[in-house]
Structure 1
Amino acid sequence: MEYVLQSERKFPAGKYDVIICGGGTSGVFAAIAAARKGVKTALVESKGYVGGIAAEGGCGLHSFYNLWKAFPGTEKRKVVRGLPEEMINRLTALHGASGHNETLMNYGYDSDTLCVDVEVYKYVAMQMLHEEGVDIYVNTMVAEVLTEGSRITGVVIVNHQGSQVLLTKMVIDSTGYGDVCARAGADYTEPNDYAVANSMGIGGIDIDKYYQFLKKNDALKEYALGPRSGRDGQIIRVDGNWNKLDSNFGKKAAELGMHTVTTTLHDNYFMFIKLNYHMPVSPTDVKELSAAEFELRRRQFEALKLLKEVIPGSENAFIARTSPAVTIRRARCISCDYDISNEEVINGVHFSDDVFSYGFHDEAPHFQVKNGETYGFPYRAMLVKNMENLFAVGMMVTSDHHAHMSTRNTVSCMAQGQAAGTAAALCVKLKKDNVRDLPYKELYATLKADNVWFDQDRQ
């Protein structure tokens, strides 16, 4: 590889109290939370919209509740509230979310189904950021990170206007890839323990016919009822066992990495069909990621053919939307002050520095939080090791793959964002230069006042 040396450069600079790098699932809530505390906040996002996987996947935003249906007699509790629930309420008011609907069949996985319209989500997320006065830099990349010792002093951003420096007191890395942490010199690993994915929306296809077809062939795994195209009590989520239909169908779906579950809020539309592909190396490798982008789009067209072959009445189905880029479940895993284990997750452990409670595990029913309880996510688990003013949130934390199958889920990432944004703002207001110096009682009281639910408080 050849190298080029550049002479000293001069950048225009802006100043902020808190900068959130990455406007994805966690980043949106971090920015809203920080700005609501009255600190000057910037959000930097590489795409032209915000919301991340929550706005790209189209899957159900389940897990606001504990897993009450899997444990008869267990109290039903909404355990994720605060800003995430505020977002859902606003989406639902605009017919962009189904509200909370009970899962029918397969109770061991989840008790709650919440479907979203991805385009409405993008709009509402941006709207909420604007209302709080967040300076939003979309179509903008973080190119460099400026540090002094173990402290980040600013980031260099690049967009169509050129390069600019944003100076800051606190930084939240919610890039998904952990780019800021890595460029700041933080410790990390790259497990490459997940497939990458792209999801698509399919038009001209009927979810009622899919449901009836699966039911008739004893292949129905789960479903949920809710509002669709202005009518209540409609099918909004369906999953089936394609091997029961025909082993060849199941084999083809598996080869494509295609999930057979779908969701919708609209007639004649599947909001969500996901295709997976396991890369040979970490998705931080740009050449392999480029190859994965093509491979997943190839699989989408093969999956469309398969859907037409399998589902009655889908002869005129077509791809109506795709995610603009590969979506990941993990790239870099950032080393933080605390690392939650799967044993702590499934045994419902709460910590002395919890910032929210959570009760979902994506490997259920094999792994479940016992007795329909919850576990706590500790403040320490988002503090980047050996860095003074840097938080890591979302899919970048939790090294244990099984524990990560809980903490990386969408609603958990939303709650992490609110906690990190609140903490960063409090550090600024209380003049705490090191995030570890923030008194937990201040953080707890503030989150509590902002409607974050601490499940252990009920005991």
Structure 2
Amino acid sequence: MEPTENQNRLSALFSLNRRKFIQSTIAGAGAAALPILASDAEAASKTADEFKEPARNVPIKGEFDVVVCGAGPAGVSAAITAARAGAKTQLIEVHGCLGGVWTAGLLTYIFDFDKPGLTKEIKAKLDERNARRNKIADQFVYHPDEMKVLLEEMCIEAGVKFRLLTRVSSAYKDKKQLTTIVTDSKSGREAWKAKVFIDATGDGDVGAQAGNSWEIGHGGDTCPCQPLTLNTLAVVRDPAALKQFISFYTNDGDKKNWHVPAVEAFKKEIARAGITPSYGMPTLFLIRDNLVMIMVNHEYNIKAFDADEITEATVQARAEVYNIVRGLNKLGGPWEGMQIVATPEQIGIRDGRRIHGRYTVTKQDLVVGARHEDAVVRPTFGVDIHAADRKTNEVETIGRGGIKMIPYDIPLRALIAKDVDGLMMAGRCISGDFVAHASYRVTGNAVAMGEAAGAVASIAAKTNKLPNEVAWSDAAQLLTKLGMRA
């Protein structure tokens, strides 16, 4: 139906009045609360290859003792610890659940989980929920949705305020001290103030935005880096019929036979389907009942902070996983009826930014088994360097950095930013080199680092000190009081 002349006049009048209204309001106090017309915004751009965003006021969502950015294993642990210590704590997470790689990434297992504190507590509570099938000392596999619900309950019980589906987009300092972060979400752009911030984003997003120096890969700002992996959940008809292909299906017999023989057998089955997986050690884990996790994929030389590269990697990875499952189905027998039930919200990233701190954990620390008076955790997980490209993967899928690792200490100083005051790190984005990172990056260590950061941050906030001014002995005493250390 063609518009009438009156309709055209009304439309033109409405457009004119609307533009005048917005322009007059922008000139007044309400500028931050209203959208800017595209034509008005584009007028601010002076060059063809960049856009100058008009200045606007951003509402302050709140002021806190501690703001934790990233709700993965390190972030939830930091937030719970800080809140239990009495700090007013806000946790901000980009995904639609707490847990990070544990949940949104469908990791479904915990390495280096022989730690006291929250790791022990989480394990016990997951067992109460029957969230895993096998209770083997060397292996902890869990149901990711049970983990989601548990972490939400623990944060609520501790008094942690948390916001999902919210991304940190910028950070602002007063002189050298970080005072404010800005986020984007369905609620628009918001500012959050705190006395202490903890970067638990995994990729060091906050540290980089705040202007702290950092590195990735073997140093500098470019790859080669460790590859990305898209873990996948699937159901099978009868896990017992696949037990020879499932790592840690049983703890009978020699411990060395619990994992590698299953990997080799699974790899042969994939080859029998006419497929060579991009990961040289394809693995099946049984979570519970007939639910399994499949890890068969590697995406090489992807920068953790390049959205285009991550998008391409995710699409390629999902296609590969589906292709492998279809191929296994065609083999029939115990593979018949295998179905993918979920791919992750976030492809798994091993190697992102490492924010420079007041100490850098190095390969040499692992060689000598370094000890520190301000040790926050002692990793026991060996160096685990996944091949940086597919050709290397065919020769050496997992490298050990040319060393034999001796359990070593990570000092508090590696969790405190070097260039920005009021900023701490926890998890894989702490200060370390490529080889050391390949050991401490696993999630059991991330939890312990989160606890330490949360304890120090709470003390710093309540005593109006910077994190580097807090004695580790005071934080250790607090963790003992909270039941997180012996």
The TM-score range, normalised by the shorter chain, is 0.7 to 0.9
Q: Does the 8 Å CA contact 1:54/1:118 hold for their aligned counterparts?
A: yes
Query: 1: CA distance between counterparts of 2:128 and 2:416?
Result: 36
3-state secondary structure, aligned to 2:478: helix
Change (3 A) 1:344 1:315: same
Change (3 A) 1:247 1:41: closer
Specify the alignment match of 1:61 in structure 2.
110
Compute the RMSD of aligned alpha carbons. 2.7
* CA deviation string 1:89-136 (max 9, x = no partner): 11111111457514xxxxxxxxx1111111100110111001111111
Query: 1: CA distance between counterparts of 2:428 and 2:274?
Result: 30
Q: How does 1:48-197 map to 2 (within 5 A)?
A: 48-55=96-103, 56-65=105-114, 80-98=115-133, 100-102=135-137, 112-191=138-217, 192=223, 193-197=225-229
| Structure 1 position 141, deviation (Å) | 1.2
Specify the alignment match of 1:24 in structure 2.
72
| Structure 1 position 243, deviation (Å) | 8.5
Alignment counterpart, residue 344 of structure 1, candidates 355, 365, 381 = 365
Alignment counterpart, residue 262 of structure 1, candidates 263, 279, 284 = 284
Q: Does the 8 Å CA contact 1:58/1:272 hold for their aligned counterparts?
A: no
Change (3 A) 1:341 1:453: farther
Give, as a single letter, the amino acid of the residue that structure 1 aligns with 2:264: N
| Structure 1 position 178, deviation (Å) | 1.2
In structure 1, list runs of 5 or more residues that go unmatched. 66-79, 103-111, 215-219, 227-234, 455-459
Query: 2: CA distance between counterparts of 1:238 and 1:421?
Result: 41
Query: 1: CA distance between counterparts of 2:58 and 2:298?
Result: 43
Specify the alignment match of 1:240 in structure 2.
263
* CA deviation string 1:316-371 (max 9, x = no partner): 1111111112220122121111111223224322211101222111539955544x
Query: 2: CA distance between counterparts of 1:94 and 1:221?
Result: 22
Specify the alignment match of 1:68 in structure 2.
none
Give, as a single letter, the amino acid of the residue that structure 2 aligns with 1:380: R
Q: Does the 8 Å CA contact 1:20/1:173 hold for their aligned counterparts?
A: yes
1:252 correspondence with 2:279: no
Query: 2: CA distance between counterparts of 1:172 and 1:160?
Result: 23
Q: Does the 8 Å CA contact 1:242/1:249 hold for their aligned counterparts?
A: no
Q: How does 1:288-327 map to 2 (within 5 A)?
A: 288-309=309-330, 312-327=333-348
Query: 2: CA distance between counterparts of 1:394 and 1:311?
Result: 42
Query: 2: CA distance between counterparts of 1:260 and 1:317?
Result: 16
* CA deviation string 1:205-226 (max 9, x = no partner): 53322224x5xxxxx9765449
Alignment counterpart, residue 426 of structure 2, candidates 371, 374, 393 = 393
State, as a whole percentage, how many aligned pairs show the same letter.
23
Specify the alignment match of 2:350 in structure 1.
329
Specify the alignment match of 2:234 in structure 1.
202
| Structure 1 position 315, deviation (Å) | 1.4
Q: Does the 8 Å CA contact 1:115/1:236 hold for their aligned counterparts?
A: no
Query: 2: CA distance between counterparts of 1:15 and 1:246?
Result: 56
In structure 2, list runs of 5 or more residues that go unmatched. 1-48, 218-222, 253-257, 385-397
Specify the alignment match of 1:42 in structure 2.
90
Query: 2: CA distance between counterparts of 1:4 and 1:25?
Result: 37
Larger Rg: 2
Give, as a single letter, the amino acid of the residue that structure 1 aligns with 2:165: N
